[in-house]
Chain A
Amino acid sequence: MASEGDRRSDPEVAERRSRLLGGLRLEGEGARGVAIALISTAVFLVAIVVAVTQSAGWPEVRRTFFDWGDISGSFPDIARAFVLNVKIFLVCEVFILVLALVIAVLRSLQGPVFFPLRALAIIYSDLARGIPTILVIALLGFGAPALQLTGVPRSRVFWAGVGLVLVYSGYVAEVYRAGIESVHPSQEAAARSLGLSRFQALRRVILPQAIRRVIPPLLNDFIGLQKDTALVGTLGVIEAFNQSQIDTNATFTYGSYLAAAALFVALTIPLARLTDWLIARDRKRRQAAGGFA
């Protein structure tokens, strides 16, 4: 990271550079710094390429993984299957945001009356985060439809989605809770002193500040969720990962894995950059406010 002085001397250049490199910061000054960075990156990449292509197994790996015909041939099928991943992600995200908020609020309730609710929220968070996601999805995906309950969907995709919502709500609730606890108690005192009820104070004063502060870590959890939609494939549902496995079994090559990976990355990278941008904006705003907010 550049020193304070560097950044202040030419903030615009530094800003442009950091945007180019997706948040990476360069040492040194101006064009010389950029040149050094480019050369060292090139040397580094060439070294890796040489090391890999000189390895004994490279011809075989190149044939099975890097056959352009395989990759591009499997792409349309996988892209179609990937639509399901995106749908699962989008629908689950909405439910996670709501359920996690409820859990976090329950956990933040004070007073002995609310002990059972608090305890429930803690147990939930512990379980949701303690059981491997793949197990939760298997248990629900195979178990819940087998119950043959009337009025309850039997779709495996549905139950896999329920599993993802349950698991991720445990994490996201902790993120919310950190946000709620970061709001100074004097804010609640000010709200209550005006006659607002506990719930009104929470809704109008505490949560808006808490949620604003935790948007970057929330997005971070959603990057994880995007990838974990691939776990739904373990139930035999045809989504991007499963489709790529089917292709692999047909061709005995692994190019389709790369195609699937490219699709996931294409979705996560914009989200990752958005997260970085929000964090940077938040930091700037804080500096401008002299640390008040």
Chain B
Amino acid sequence: MSALKVEGVHKSFGPNEVLRGIDLELEDHEVVCLIGASGSGKSTLLRCVNLLEPLDAGRIFLAGEEITRRDVDSNSVRRRIGIVFQAFNLFPHMTVLRNVTLAPRDVLGLGRAEAEARGRELLARFGLEDRRDEYPDRLSGGQQQRVAIVRALAMQPELMLLDEVTSALDPELVAEVLSVIRELAAGGMTMLIATHEMSFARDIAHRVCFLEEGRILEQGPPHEIFAQPKEPRTQQFLERIIEAGRL
């Protein structure tokens, strides 16, 4: 049984068809990177998996159970899936610790002490222990993004979705966030990662999917996709990336 199964997913925004039939399967502990140009549908696919966008067609299964059926409570699905956004989206009116404990307390019903203990432990693991009483706007972008990752982890998700989590960061802050994700991968977290960081994808992914105009054009282990892409479109995309010095 796969951790995540996406079947024939279509999604349009008005006349703009963003996803044109996506099929994708993730095994437990698998790390899959989605690459492709901006607008190819990577972010939309992640938002669909987290049920933040309703599908036009297709089905999505989480641990074998269909989550796109009408009678499924989407709140109970979302608590099992963590998502981290490009723009962090921390809650600016809450301290770091409150950001991290909000959902465990309100959604999982954990007591304050237990939620805070769990939050502190996670913050400490990612070097943020001394920041727990700060408000997000006092933190660097890299710290904010790490807090956003911890916030998602505090729900002990089965699956993490990362949506270009380093794209809004200054270059010198990218590494600290990537090392957190590496640690998660090493710990066996199942992850679906949309990214522009090709060398990171090559290092961390078990499998890389190249998206083009709402379809998965090509997928395979990173050494195949990056070294010998079969599709001409994939070749073109990677050539442009190499020209830009990003691989």
Contacts and interface: CB of A to CB of B under 8 A. Distances in A.
| Residue of B79, B89, B107 with most chain A CB atoms under a 10 A cut-off | B89
B106 A204 contact: yes
A163 B37 CA distance: 59
A195 B93 contact: no
B165 to A, nearest CB: 13
Interface in B142-163: 151-152, 155
B103 A186 contact: no
Contact of A195 (B75, B85, B91, B137): B75
A289 B81 CA distance: 31
Contacts, number: 63
Residue among A190, A196, A209 with the highest chain B CB neighbour number at 10 A: A190
A196 B103 CA distance: 7
B137 A190 contact: no
Name the interface size band of chain B. Answer: 20 to 34
A203 to B, nearest CB: 9
Given A193-B78, A194-B152, A195-B75, A186 B87 contact: yes
Interface in B72-87: 75-76, 78-83, 85, 87
Contacts of A192: 52, 75, 78
A293 B92 contact: yes
Interface in B100-119: 102-103, 106-107
A189 B52 contact: yes
Interface in A44-93: none
A182 interface: no
B79 A212 contact: no
B195 interface: no
B72 to A, nearest CB: 13
Contacts of B166: none
A186 B79 CA distance: 17
Contact of A194 (B76, B79, B87): B79
Given A194-B151, A196-B107, A200-B106, A208 B75 contact: no
Interface residues of A, number: 21
Nearest to B86: A186
B89 A194 contact: no
Nearest to A190: B89
A290 B87 contact: no
A209 B91 CA distance: 9
A293 B137 contact: yes
B68 interface: no
A186 B168 CA distance: 15
Interface string A164-193: 000000000000000000000011011111
Given A189-B85, A190-B85, A200-B106, A195 B76 contact: yes
B212 to A, nearest CB: 26
A209 B136 CA distance: 14
Contact of A292 (B83, B102, B137): B137
Contacts of A195: 75-76, 78-80, 103, 107, 155
B234 interface: no
A212 B93 contact: yes
Interface string B41-70: 000000000101000000000000000000
A189 B75 contact: no
A194 B137 contact: no
A187 B94 CA distance: 12
A205 interface: yes
A194 B52 contact: no
12 contacts: A186-B85, A189-B89, A190-B85, A190-B89, A190-B91, A192-B75, A193-B81, A194-B152, A200-B107, A204-B91, A208-B93, A293-B137
Task: Please provide the 6 A-B residue pairs with the shortest distance between their CB atoms, ordered closest to farther.
Answer: A195-B79, A194-B103, A190-B89, A289-B137, A195-B107, A292-B137
Given A193-B83, A209-B92, 12 more contacts: A191-B91, A194-B79, A195-B78, A195-B79, A200-B106, A200-B107, A204-B91, A204-B106, A209-B91, A209-B93, A289-B137, A293-B92
